Amino acid sequence: MQTHPETFQPSNQEDLAGKHIVLGLSGGIACYKSAQLCRSLIKAGATVQVVMTEAAEQFITAVTMQALSGRPVYTSQWDSRPDNNMAHINLSREADAILIAPLSADFMAKLLHGRADDLLSLMCLARPLASVPLLLAPAMNREMFAHPATQRNFEQLAADGAHVLGVGSGFQACGETGDGRMLEPDQLLDDLIAFFTPKHLAGQHVLVSAGPTYEAIDPVRGITNLSSGKMGFAVARAAREAGAEVTLVAGPVGLAAPRGVNRIDVKSAQDMLDALLPLAERSTIFIATAAVADWRVASPAAQKIKKEGSGQPPQLSFSENTDILATIAQGPRAKAGRLFCVGFAAESEDLLLNAKAKLLRKQVPLLVGNIGPDTFGQDHNALLLVDAEGSLALPRAPKLVLARTLIREIAARMARQ
């Protein structure tokens, strides 16, 4: 079963468990997105303290943000609720991170120059630099965003240690179209989760293959399989969260690319091989999750094959496809130890026996087995990691959870090389 992008929602319920986020809102129409962002952060396990500027209150009410966060909203540096009357100190010391979303051009200039004339800017200036990171989600008109002063400000804020997130492109409230939109709440959530993820693969170039291949019989028919690509897409996301530069080569699936991952779409096994071979020469890790067809029709028909009334099916002859994993794993780069290859085996029975056999046949340092009929098209899976030392079973869990565990296992094995 192939799944539409909107239905691909890996579980992230506990991704931010134990994290306390100060969500700052400066003035801008994008404040409406901050309401959903607040809710998403809480669903991911974080606690959220909202701080709003006077300008932000022109776009969304403190009552709304209090209802969503479950905490009183702070709007003034003169707030007398803290016993010491120092909300800017107390709030910043309690935070694991401060996220300003939206960040207006005006508030960005305040941060750049160290101005502190309201609670939110005071708090940003007073935060402990070594322990409370500042993340910024800009939102402004396309001309404001492109202005040289704005771009200089971004560069200086980054040099000062702030983490400037990207912007979206599209239709803006002013009626114009271009760069400068605040990222969507789910994108900001993904960025925040990635920010807190240990960077086990920093400096690595990870290549992932995912999904099925499609082998044409004629222009309207073909041979494929039930792989949805969800496991491979989760692996690509987990690798990116762990700090790697990630390229995902995907067969025909209906999934949205993970944020921050370079995606290349292919169709047949030959297409996938042609895309992967040059990329493998620039990669340090190759994770072959794709369910590649072993066979293809030797001579696909140029036109649709029609029934002739004889009751006999068409006679098809097949050719064997090149074994992509074995080709890359036995290439000079992998043999020299510069490319760590991980294979996947989708079996229907005798998982350990078949996985061990495939490990030897493919000559890879790590083979990941799963029972295909139990996982195709689903959001959960169970994995068996097999190497020369033995095997490790990962019990059934969301595919993203398993992918993150797999990435840690790969990083640990590479560290021992």
CB neighbourhood size of 209 (10 A): 32
Please tell me the pTM assigned to this model. 0.89
Buried b (16+ CB within 10 A) or exposed e, 110-126: bbbeeebebbbbbbbeb
Domain 205-301+316-416, architecture per CATH: 3-Layer(aba) Sandwich (3.40)
187: enclosing H helix or E strand: helix 185-196
| Phi, psi angle pair for 103, to nearest 5° | -105, 110
Catalytically active residues are 174
Which residue, chain included where needed, has tokens 């990635």? 194
**Quick check: do 11-196 and 205-301+316-416 share a fold?**
yes
Q: What are the start-end ranges of the H helices in 217-295?
A: 230-241, 269-280
For 347-406, write each residue's pLDDT tens digit. Answer: 878 888 888 888 889 899 999 988 877 778 888 999 999 998 889 999 999 999 999 999
What are the binding residues for CTP?
A: 294, 304, 344, 358, 362
CATH superfamily of this structure's domain 11-196:
Flavin prenyltransferase-like (3.40.50.1950)
Query: Domain boundaries in the chain?
Result: 11-196, 205-301+316-416
Q: Which residues are annotated as a binding site?
A: 294, 304, 344, 358, 362
Give SS3 for 197: coil
Residue 75: strand, helix, or coil: coil
Q: What is the pLDDT along the chain (417 residues), one digit of tens a residue?
A: 233 333 333 444 579 999 999 999 999 999 999 999 999 999 999 999 999 999 999 999 999 999 999 999 999 888 878 777 787 888 889 999 999 999 999 999 999 999 999 999 999 999 999 999 999 999 999 999 999 999 999 999 999 999 999 998 998 888 989 999 999 999 999 999 999 999 999 999 999 999 999 999 999 999 999 999 999 999 999 999 999 999 999 999 999 999 999 999 999 999 999 999 999 999 999 999 999 999 999 999 999 988 877 778 888 999 999 999 999 999 999 999 999 999 998 887 888 888 888 888 989 999 998 887 777 888 899 999 999 888 999 999 999 999 999 999 999 999 887
Q: What is the pLDDT of residue 13?
A: 52
Q: How far apart are CA 343 and CA 339, in angstroms?
A: 13
Q: How far apart are CA 42 and CA 35, in angstroms?
A: 11
The long-range contacts involving 143-150, CB below 8 angstroms and separated by at least 24 positions, are 143/176, 144/105, 144/180, 145/178, 145/179, 145/180, 146/178, 146/179, 146/180, 150/105, 150/108
Choose among 400, 402, 405, 409: nearest CA to 190: 400
